[in-house]
Chains A and B, each alone.
Chain A
Amino acid sequence: MNQRAPMSTMKLVYFAWVRERVGKAEEEIVPPASVTTVAELMRWLRERGEEYAHAFENPKVIRAAIDKSHVRPDTAIAGAREIAFFPPMTGG
Chain B
Amino acid sequence: MPIKIRLQREDFDAAAEAAALTHGRTDVGALVTFTGLCRGAESGEPIAALTLEHYPGMAEAEIARHVEEALARWPLFGVTVIHRHGRIAPGENIVLVVTASSHREAAFAAAEFLMDYLKTRAPFWKQVESKAGTAWVEAKDADDAAAGRWAKPPGREAAE
Contact = CB atoms under 8 A, between A and B. Distances in A.
Contacts of A13: 55
Contacts, number: 81
Contact of B55 (A15, A72, A75, A88): A15
B159 A90 contact: no
B160 interface: yes
A90 B58 contact: no
Given A15-B125, A69-B159, A70-B160, A91 B95 contact: yes
Given A86-B55, A87-B139, A91-B52, A15 B160 contact: no
Given A65-B55, A68-B61, A89 B159 contact: no
A6 interface: no
A91 B118 contact: yes
Given A15-B53, A17-B136, A72-B160, A90 B61 contact: no
Contacts of B83: 91-92
Contact of A92 (B57, B58, B119): B119
Interface in A60-91: 63, 65, 68-72, 75, 84, 86-91
Interface string B109-153: 000000100111111111100000000111100010000000000
**Interface size range on B against A:** 20 to 34
B139 A89 contact: yes
Interface residues of A, number: 20
Interface of A: 13, 15-17, 63, 65, 68-72, 75, 84, 86-92
Interface of B: 36, 52-55, 57-59, 61-62, 83, 94-95, 115, 118-127, 136-139, 143, 158-160
26 contacts: A13-B55, A15-B125, A65-B55, A68-B57, A68-B61, A68-B62, A70-B159, A70-B160, A84-B58, A84-B123, A86-B55, A87-B136, A88-B139, A89-B119, A89-B121, A90-B125, A90-B126, A90-B138, A91-B122, A91-B123, A92-B36, A92-B83, A92-B95, A92-B118, A92-B119, A92-B122
Given A89-B124, A91-B123, 4 more contacts: A72-B160, A89-B119, A89-B139, A91-B59
